[in-house]
Amino acid sequence: MEKKPLKLPLPLWIRLKEGVRIIRTYADLRDFKLVVIVAGEASADLHGSNLVKAIRALDSGVIFCGIGGEKMKKAGVKTFFSSSEMAVVGLTEVFSRLHTIVRASIRLKSILKNERPDLLVLIDYPDFNIHIARTAKRFKIPVLYYISPQIWAWRSGRIRKIARRVDRMAVILPFEEELYKQRFVKADYVGHPLLDVDSSDVNKEQIKIKLGAGEYHPVVGLLPGSRKEEIKNLLPVMVHAAEIMTLQYPDIRCCLPLAETIPPDLIYPIVEKSPIEIKIFRRNISQVLGICDVALVASGTATLETAIMGIPMVIVYKVSPASYWMGKIVIKVPHIGLPNLVAGEEVVPELIQSEVTANRLAHEALTILQHDDIRKNMIKKLQGIRQILGSGGASDRTAKIALKMMEK
């Protein structure tokens, strides 16, 4: 018999919204399963929503609640905190969101204690999630960690806590699986979820028309990140760099893909002050990147998404001075950008902290545009990164692991 879509009892939704006990009796009587899922950032919201869809495709009788953004809400997750409220960059910037983070932690621990869900799924967001995993372990709730903390880059000692608190890791970089297995942590390489992003339905010509970009108009993408602190630090510099570039190339067109989790009032005041036109698109990054000749990208997940699409880029990283110096003490990798880390060499230029100036950024981007040999070599190496990451299907593989863990 074909399974009917899950219709949640109204009292369950009301009580979940109010933050009191979830009525598990409904789920118990109908053999439904409860999954708590935590996605504390915009990229995790995307991957979390795809994972929820993949789980529901295999088993429609699963209820989801937790922390996420608009994409997870649309996928059917009842969220009691938004990922946009939780996202931070840098060590000192955590303090600006501390009140929200503490409240979210208290709510999650209450749900874990009172409802004993069938599974806790944690996505990236390491310090918060590793802390929450401790509570789950105390109540014997299975924990699946999807998208590993970057323990290979800094604070490798966290693997000891992960080994004690997490039942299984679903990792997205090829070398991470062996790293965990060496420390006796169950881990599966599931592939990178960005390989599943489908931009085939994007009308590139329509985007070009909106930009006023013809065949001989270079297109520059501005990707200042998804966190408030990143945008404040990087967008003004990126806009100024674009202005410098247009002095040499008046035909340049600039675009800025704006994620759903980013409040427009963070972006528009900065962009509207510029004498050049910067078109803002309310689309996913992948839907706009396809028309770009070069991109200025904040260090993070977006750099790997740009690399997978084979778009030449300049990576920028800038946090508060305190965060930078604290991070410099513990970070132990030669590169800050994920594409360079995966490739094991500097495939694309990186500008870090004091190097992040409009003049330097414009110079690096123009070098890519002006020198065809540099551009072609960069594209070739970016294609190699995609091959290293392997095939798609990360969400489906992780969904199967999640359902298997709930059988026990």
Condensed to tens digits (0 to 9), the pLDDT of residues 89-109 reads 545 455 556 778 889 999 999
Condensed to tens digits (0 to 9), the pLDDT of residues 217-270 reads 899 999 999 888 889 999 999 999 999 999 998 999 999 998 776 888 889 999
pLDDT, residue 4, reads 47
Condensed to tens digits (0 to 9), the pLDDT of residues 374-391 reads 999 999 999 999 999 988
Mean of pLDDT values over 327-339: 68
Give the Cβ contact number of residue 287 at 10 Å: 19
Condensed to tens digits (0 to 9), the pLDDT of residues 295-332 reads 999 998 899 999 999 999 999 998 766 666 555 544 55
> Which domains, from first to last, does the chain contain?
10-191+393-407 (3.40.50.2000), 204-389 (3.40.50.2000)
pLDDT, residue 217, reads 86
Q: 302: which residues sit within 8 A by CB, 6+ positions away?
A: 43, 223, 225, 226, 285
The residue among 281, 228, 266, 224 whose CA lies nearest residue 82 is 228
Query: How far is CA 43 from each of CA 5, 68, 226, 280, rounded to the nearest angstrom?
Result: 27, 10, 8, 19
Residue 367 predicted with pLDDT over 50: yes
In the chain, what percentage of residues exceed pLDDT 90?
Answer: 56
Mean of all residue pLDDT scores within the chain: 85
Burial class (CB in 10 A: 0-12, 13-18, 19+), 352: middle
Could you write out the three-class secondary structure of the chain? CCCCCCCCCHHHHHHHHHCCCCCHHHHHHHCCEEEEEEECCHHHHHHHHHHHHHHHHHCCCEEEEEEECHHHHHCCCEEEEEHHHHCCCCCHHHHHHHHHHHHHHHHHHHHHHHHCCCEEEEECCHHHHHHHHHHHHHCCCCEEEECCCCCCCECCCHHHHHHHHCCEEEECCHHHHHHHHHCCCCEEECCCHHHHCCCCCCCHHHHHHHHCCCCCCCEEEEECCCCHHHHHHHHHHHHHHHHHHHHHCCCCEEEEECCCCCCHHHHHHHHHCCCCCEEEECCCHHHHHCCCCEEEEECCHHHHHHHHCCCCEEEEECCCHHHHHHHHHHECCCCCCHHHHHHCCCCCCEEEHHHCCHHHHHHHHHHHHHCHHHHHHHHHHHHHHHHHHCCCCHHHHHHHHHHHHHHC
Mean of pLDDT values over 348-377: 96
Condensed to tens digits (0 to 9), the pLDDT of residues 273-284 reads 999 999 998 766
Identify the residue with better confidence: 352 or 7.
352
Reported confidence tier of residue 34, pLDDT bands at 50, 70, 90: very high
Distance of alpha carbon 408 from alpha carbon 398, whole angstroms = 16
Q: 213: which residues sit within 8 A by CB, 6+ positions away?
A: 219, 253, 291
The residue among 91, 95, 153, 157 whose CA lies nearest residue 325 is 91
